[in-house]
Amino acid sequence: MSAAGDTATAVDFCGIALAHPVINASGTFDAIAARRAFGDALIERFPFAAFVSKTVTVAPRQGNPPPRLWELPAGLMNSIGLPNKGLEGYLALDLPELAALPVPLIVNVMGFSRDEVATLVSAFAGRDEVAALELNVSCPNVETGMVMGADPGEIGRLMSAVRPLTDKPLIVKLTPNASDVPAVALAAEREGADAVSLINTIRGMALDPRTGEPWLGGTTGGVSGSAVRAIALAQVRSVSDAVDIPIIGMGGVSRGRHAGELIAAGATLVAVGTESFRDPSAGARIASELALAVDAPHHSGWGPRGR
Ligand code: RRO
């Protein structure tokens, strides 16, 4: 059975109709490159119910120097450093291609100040191709030095600055590198966030065995994959206890069962990240596995957490 288009798996997310609850994590699936590699087969069997694009910043960025990846026994560590064409380049070159995908488009943006985030939100506010915006708040605010997503006060001020700029759903992508993630989620909700997504990667480091120096060009990196799944589950559960807005849960999902567990912990949607690097069609498989588990007469009891 295919999950796509099956009314039993359809889900409403902030007013956006989705065929099933599985989407991609930002930056883990290059739909433009995949279209070139797989042609129309990608469009006919698109693996996700919505597409979240890689983070866009106001100015173009080269990203971090290599090496950018380090494989872990149960995951991956990245230090990609936000390479992207910048807002103008995205609007001119990427948006037309991404708008042709057969699913709603969510654009992930990051600013290094509240003004930059406001510029990005305003730029997409009137674009009909864009269904929702995801605010990546994992970077330090250049004005305060604080990581925006680590501090409830920073998030509250950010949201009150950008909320009036658009009617589109605003999703705040929470960082797990914060002492009180539910408090950050609650501050976002109070100032008008429509949803939160979590977890982003967890800060880690690897040393070059020959030199003892940091392996990654960016010194530290973000850990993802199976290694973080239990942490994601705990954080989704604690954020679900704190807020009433929908949650996109992610972190180490490679099976329908893992998606079902995040939904049981309070997520409305589940995002697949690292697993898509191994298998670009993983999203479709996970959605089908999830649908089979939920539909089975003797399923193991996963179900939404009453939201
Ligand atoms: O580009 C990156 O290095 C990156 C980003 Br913006 C992010 O949000 N999470 C991550 O693990 N890497």
Cα distances (angstroms) measured from residue 114 to each of 47, 77, 83, 111, 162? 34, 28, 20, 7, 8
Which positions are annotated as active-site residues?
139
Confidence band for 151, pLDDT divided at 50, 70 and 90: very high
Residue listed under structure tokens 């992930």? 108
Q: What is the layout of strands, in order, in the sheet containing 247-250?
A: 22-24, 269-272, 247-250, 195-198, 170-173, 130-136, 105-109, 51-52
Q: Is the CB of 200 under 6 A from ligand 1?
A: yes
* CA–CA distance, 108 with 97 (Å, rounded to integer): 16
Nearest residue (by CA) to ligand 1, atom 6, is: 82
Q: How far is the CA of 284 from the centre of ligand 1 (A)?
A: 23
Tell me what pLDDT residue 145 has: 74
Tokens representing 197 are 């997504």
Rg over CA atoms, the chain: 18
Confidence band for 298, pLDDT divided at 50, 70 and 90: very low
Q: Is the CB of 174 under 6 A from ligand 1?
A: no
Tell me what pLDDT residue 141 has: 66
Closest CA to 198 of 254, 301, 268: 268
Q: Is the CB of 274 under 6 A from ligand 1?
A: no
Looking at the CA of residue 110, tell me the nearest atom of ligand 1.
6
Q: Is the CB of 108 under 6 A from ligand 1?
A: no
Residue 288: is its pLDDT beyond 50?
Answer: yes
Q: How far is the CA of 181 from the centre of ligand 1 (A)?
A: 18
* CA–CA distance, 42 with 235 (Å, rounded to integer): 33
Write down the pTM of the prediction: 0.94
